Chain A
Amino acid sequence: MQVKVLSEHYDKPEFQGLEGYKKLGGYVELEKAFKMDPKQIIEDVKAAGLRGRGGAGFPTGVKWGFLPDNGEPRYLLCNADEGEPGTFKDRMMMERAPHQLIEGMIISSFAIGSKKSYIYVRGEYDESIRILTKALDEAYKAGMLGKNILGSGFDHDMDIYVGAGAYICGEETAMISSLEGYKGQPKLKPPFPAIEGYLGKPTIVNNVESLAAVKYIIRDGVEGYRKHGTEKSAGTKLFSVSGNVVKPGNYEIPLGMPMKTLINDLCGGMKPGRQLKAVIPGGSSTPILTAEEAMKVNMDYESMAEFGTFLGSGAVIVIDDSNCMVDLLGVLMHFYHHESCGQCTPCREGTGWLNKLVASIYKGEAKMTDLELINGISNHMMGKTICALSDAAAMPALSFLKKFREEFEFYIREGKSKVKGSSYAQMHH
């Protein structure tokens, strides 16, 4: 069942405002954190095993530990550019509990010694931006931000930066470029942001959920936080379940819960008369699972890895038997083609090429050998570029073809969808 740590009060409208938030335990951990040694907070976050909730799952405390210990100015950026198709948890967090994020960010900034932080929100999130702006205003007025916060001697300023809705700006170095006023394109690594990030200064970029979770590590302590989840996937996580389930939505569950429980029990299973066909477990870029695999896998980093896929951002896209996989891959390839920043050649050319090839299948123009070509292109896009967008496009292509190959072959051979029985031309013209 759901374990509501972060989302405990999300259904209470008053949790959105400062007053209600404080009544429900808000900003208590901030005061507690100010009494702690910042280094101890970093150690606790490490020990609690919090892993980045944005997608890569990199241990948050370890990331913080990369900062140079030289007292240079440093920045904390909150990655609220939630762009991975299927993901909508950060949006809910910002809209229901803006102060939870702000508090988590102040504690994190205190831990890493940052005097300035930014929340980089994707441009489409109008409501989030409005609510965050209001909350930030409240926090400043209440002395939670600015000089000498709560008499601690710690100064911190926070700003909201609105992106323009580019998927690539969710990649941390692209976000930094964008924040600096440049075109949102990833930067070469090394140097890594922890050494040279925003404006050339040490910078930490963390996801909304990761930063909010820091509050609860302070509240519950390392042991308390680790009460949920598994050894390597500690704590709870929000999952955005979408697709053909009865009750789609955001669910906070302890890591390690079987996907079967999430889909069948929490989400009410498949829509009447429909069979589970496949699940994209962690956002559109993660390799797809067959129904059989989905019923075996657990919602944690290790189990996903065993099945050759990733927990990603926590976007579970549930697909039933009324869907044509060729169509679905077409949608994904169109997306990645549209979103490639165009910097690295394999991704710039590869995403366009894949998109055209998949489209040629449902336009009835493909040859059987094109399937091998799709594999070849995808394999040579993987791990060859500055950031992971290239991999993000290649992984679904490879996994769709591997697991649902007969649907692709059928489409090429028969000129129509195996599932829908009609062709693209019949459907669209």
Chain B
Amino acid sequence: MPKCTINGQEVEVKEGATIIEAFKKMSEDIAHYCWHPGLSVAGVCRLCMVDVEGARGPQIACNTVVREGMVITNQSEQIKDIVRWGMDFHLINHPLDCPICDQAGECGLQEQYMKFGKYDPEMGLQKVKKRKVVDLGERVVLDSERCILCSRCVRFTDEVSKTNELGIFNRGDRSEIGTYKDKPLNNKYSLNTVDICPVGALTSKDFRFRQRVWYLKNADTICNGCSTGCSVKTYYNEEGLFRVKPNHNEDVNGYWMCDEGRDLYKFANKESRLLKAKKFDGSTWEEVSAGSAVKSLSHQLLETIKETPSKVAVVYTGQFTNQEYADSLKSFDGLGVNNFYHWMNNQASKDEFDGLLIRGDKNPNTKGLQNEASKFSGLKKLENLFNELESGNIETVFVMAPENISAYPEYESHFKALSKAKNFIWMGANQTSCYESTNSSNTYLIPLKSYVEKSGTFTNHNGTDQNFNYVTTLVAGALTLSEAMTLFEGQDLDFEIRPKIYKTMKNNHFTSDRGEL
């Protein structure tokens, strides 16, 4: 474990660590664009220059291994001068179109100019013209003039996704990122290139032009797209969620996440949500608040269930938290119910794994569900329930419906099949058109909270418990399973479910925390 001195402070680093890693460990500022901890060293931006005592001249910190006793600084006038010029070299052909650039506010050029640059621009000549609005693939757009050719995206497709769609074409200041003919950037991890792009060269088709980043807050959570359970950061404001980016988590997802996982915020937004509870009595639909719907459900059914618990079935999907499973299972168990069914989607492909992050089990918490249910009477296969319904052995069905309905192609058909129950209670977060075709003349649709609206724990594929916290409220009055069961048992919640008041005027929150380069 070699020790070195960084800007006058001693630090011990791992054997083989580079100087830039030592700077990062110390949280010392160091300019850099091409270096990224999740990628190989390119050494091309030439900004992370440091003085090493005894060395021939300035060294790049990203490709210099720390040796015992090294004395390193980037505070000398010489280094500051090199970095200022290095910034200028990056910016002379950059269009400086920050006002219309999506990256503005979280741009490496802006941030590092303010930290290390602050020179008077010297470039007074015609800039190099390159391609704008280049369609690289399904999700990513390139602006070559903004590109600083750090090669992070190229290295990503080479080393991480191993799909090699991107390359740097041409030479010198005519160099441009591009794809080969008929080989667009369409891998399952393509949006990571947008994340690691330090400038506004690569932008996400989904996110671009929708929000300025300084009008977004962010909070950490766990992706609910599959059983990997990537650590993610969600970006939101009062209008809803806008995007999801990966958080570094060495044990789970490294620095990356898949494109599919980035789309799931859309199911949490109001547009696709069940906003109110709905009751159907065989002829008319009635909209009520979630709380009062559960209360009236309780009045109507609680005693019946207690009397004949064997006629009650509860269907679970792997999309809820461990706490919700524990609470609801305990409630039903207390009522004498022990018919718990597991609605497992894509049964055939559930054990698949692409070798990087994407797993075939498109539920964040199948493990958690199995663990919790094993403490009670276990889980039965959903197919058996269809038979029980046909034979009339089951009269009341509770369904804890999935939140990520894109992973449940059978969502609508199962809704219809299960609604053959006499009493049909469908608890879920999403609104779909199939609800109107219910077969039950006693149907309840109870709106539940999405994963960003609650705290809890998911247990991922290898049994790691991952806690996450409440991010924001998107649908006022929606319940967690735990809350719903508390109300169903006839108790009051120990807190008030207060609809969030939306202001009529847009209230913009300037956030200073905009993630790391």
Q: Is the CB of A345 within 8 A of B43?
A: no
Q: Does B125 contact A (CB under 8 A)?
A: yes
For residue A128, CB closer than 8 A to chain B, the reply is: no
The distance in angstroms between the C-alpha atoms of A326 and B146, with both chains bound, is 32
**Is the C-beta of A183 less than 8 angstroms from some C-beta in chain B?**
yes
Contact of B173 among A352, A383, A384, A386 (CB under 8 A): A352
Known: A343-B149, A346-B46. 14 other contacts (CB 8 A): A183-B168, A343-B151, A344-B45, A345-B44, A345-B90, A346-B89, A348-B89, A348-B149, A349-B90, A349-B92, A350-B89, A351-B172, A351-B173, A386-B43
9 A-B pairs with C-beta separation under 8 A? A183-B167, A340-B172, A346-B89, A348-B89, A348-B172, A349-B90, A349-B173, A351-B173, A380-B81
CB pair A346 B171 closer than 8 Å: no
Asked whether any CB of chain A lies closer than 8 Å to the CB of B175, the reply is yes
Report the count of interface residues on A (CB-CB < 8 A). 32
| B126 at the A interface (CB under 8 A) | yes
B172's partner among A342, A356, A373 (CB-CB below 8 A) is A342
Q: Which residue of B lies closest to A350 (CB)?
A: B89
The verdict on B96 contacting chain A, using a C-beta distance below 8 Å, is no
Q: Are A376 and B171 in contact (CB under 8 A)?
A: no
Contact with B along A322-346 (1 / 0, CB 8 A): 0000000000000001111111111
B22 surroundings in chain A (CB, below 8 A): none
Query: Given A345-B89, A352-B93, A353-B92, A339–B171 Cβ distance below 8 Å?
Result: yes
Interface residues of B in 92-136 (CB under 8 A from A): 92-93, 122-123, 125-126, 128
Complex Cα spacing A14 to B272, Å = 86
Contact A360 B125 (CB under 8 A): yes
Shortest Cβ distance from residue B116 to the other chain A in the assembled complex, whole angstroms = 14
Q: How far is the CB of A395 from chain B (nearest CB, A)?
A: 16
CA distance A346 to B125 in the complex (A): 17
The reply to whether A346 and B86 form a contact with Cβ atoms under 8 Å apart is yes
Q: What string of 1s and 0s marks CB contacts (under 8 Å) between B53-74 and chain A?
A: 0000110000100000000000
User: Which of A183, A342, A345 makes the CB contact (< 8 A) with B46?
Assistant: A345
Residue A36 lies at the interface, judged by CB distance under 8 Å to chain B = no
User: What separation, in Å, do the CA atoms of A353 and B171 have in the docked complex?
Assistant: 15
Given contacts A188-B63, A345-B149, A380-B82, is CB(A353)–CB(B123) below 8 Å? yes
Cβ of B151: which chain A residues have Cβ within 8 Å of it? 343
Q: How many of B's residues come within 8 Å of A, CB to CB?
A: 35
Q: Kindly state the separation between the CA atoms of A338 and B175 in the bound complex, as whole angstroms.
A: 11
Whether B301 sits at the interface, judged by CB under 8 Å, is: no
Closest to A189 in B: B63
A423 at the interface (CB under 8 A from B): no
Chain A residues in 8 Å Cβ range of B123: 353
User: Which listed residue, B41, B128, B171, touches A341 by the CB 8 Å rule?
Assistant: B171
Interface residue from B81, B122, B148, B172 paired with A337 (Cβ < 8 Å): B172
Q: Complex: how many Å from CA A352 to CA B170?
A: 14
Are A356 and B126 touching (Cβ within 8 A)? yes
A357 at the interface (CB under 8 A from B): yes
Report, nearest first, the 3 A-B pairs whose CB atoms are least far apart.
Answer: A342-B175, A352-B173, A380-B85
Given contacts A188-B41, A373-B122, contact A349 B85 (CB under 8 A): no
- Asked if B172 and A338 sit within 8 Å, CB to CB, the answer is yes
- Are B86 and A345 in contact, with the CB atoms below 8 A? yes
Residues of B within 8 A of A349 (CB): 89-90, 92-93, 173
Which of A340, A348, A351, A352 has the most chain B CB atoms inside 10 A of its CB? Answer: A348
Question: Is A385 interfacial (CB-CB < 8 Å)?
Answer: yes
Q: Which residue of A lies closest to B122 (CB)?
A: A373
Q: Which of A177-235 contact B (CB under 8 A)?
A: 183, 188, 190
Q: Is B399 an interface residue (CB 8 A)?
A: no
Q: Contacts of B81 on A, CB cut-off 8 Å?
A: 380
Q: Does B49 contact A (CB under 8 A)?
A: yes
Is the CB–CB distance between A348 and B175 below 8 Å? yes
- Chain B residues lying within 8 Å of A348, measured Cβ to Cβ, are 89, 149, 172-173, 175
Contacts of A337 in B (CB 8 A): 172-173
With A183-B168, A342-B174, A352-B172 as known contacts, state yes or no: A386 contacts B44, CB within 8 Å: yes
Q: Does B42 contact A (CB under 8 A)?
A: yes
B92 touches A344 (CB 8 A): no
* A contact residues around B174 at 8 Å (CB): 342
Most buried by A among B148, B168, B172, B173: B172
The answer to whether B149 touches A342, judged by C-beta atoms less than 8 angstroms apart, is yes
A residues less than 8 Å from B44 (CB atoms): 343-345, 386
Give B403-433 as 1s and 0s: 1 = Cβ < 8 Å from A's Cβ atoms.
0000000000000000000000000000000
Q: Mark A226-253, 1 if CB is under 8 A from B, else 0.
A: 0000000000000000000000000000
Instruction: Give the distance to chain A from B66, nearest Cβ to Cβ, in Å.
Output: 14
- The answer to whether A356 and B125 have CB atoms under 8 Å apart is yes
Chain A positions 345-383 with a Cβ under 8 Å from a chain B Cβ:
345-346, 348-353, 356-357, 360, 373, 376-377, 380, 383
Q: Which residue of B lies closest to A352 (CB)?
A: B173
Q: Please encode chain B, from 2 to 20, with 1 for each CB lying within 8 Å of some chain A CB and 0 for all others.
A: 0000000000000000000
Instruction: Tell me, in angstroms, the Cα distance from A204 to B149 when the chains sit together.
Output: 30
Cα–Cα distance between A151 and B43 once the two chains are bound (Å): 47
Chain A residues positioned under 8 Å from B92 (CB to CB): 349, 353
Q: What separation, in Å, do the CA atoms of A360 and B42 have in the docked complex? A: 34
- Which A residue sits closest to B172, measured CB to CB? A340
B18-51 interface with A by 8 A CB criterion: 41-47, 49
Q: Are B122 and A345 in contact (CB under 8 A)?
A: no
- Cα(A69)–Cα(B445), bound, Å: 76
With both chains docked as a complex, state the minimum distance between the C-beta of A187 and any C-beta of chain B, in angstroms: 9
Nearest-Cβ distance from residue B121 to partner chain A, whole angstroms: 11
* Most chain B CB inside 10 Å of its own CB: which residue of A338, A345, A353, A373: A345
Per-residue contact bits, chain B 342-358, to A (CB 8 Å; 1 contact, 0 not): 00000000000000000
Residues from chain B with Cβ under 8 Å of A338 in the complex: 171-172
Q: Which of B41, B42, B122, B168 contacts A342 (CB 8 A)?
A: B168
A340 to B123, CA, bound (A): 19
State the CA gap A69–B82 with chains docked (Å): 39
Complex: how many Å from CA A404 to CA B170? 34
Q: Pick the contact of B42 from A168, A188, A190, A340 — CB < 8 Å?
A: A188
> Complex Cα distance A183/B42, Å?
14
Instruction: Point out the residues of chain A lying under 8 angstroms from B122, CB to CB.
Output: 373, 376
A356 contacts which chain B residues (CB < 8 A)?
125-126
CB distance from A101 to the nearest CB of B (A): 29
Task: Assess the B49–A384 pair: CB atoms within 8 A.
Answer: yes
A345-B44, A349-B93, A385-B46 as given contacts; A340 in contact with B171, CB under 8 Å: yes
Contact of A384 among B46, B63, B93, B172 (CB under 8 A): B46
Q: Give the complex CA separation of A357 and B126 in angstroms.
A: 10
Within 8 A of A (CB), among B137-190: 148-149, 151, 167-168, 170-175
Which chain A residues border B82 with CB–CB below 8 Å? 380, 384
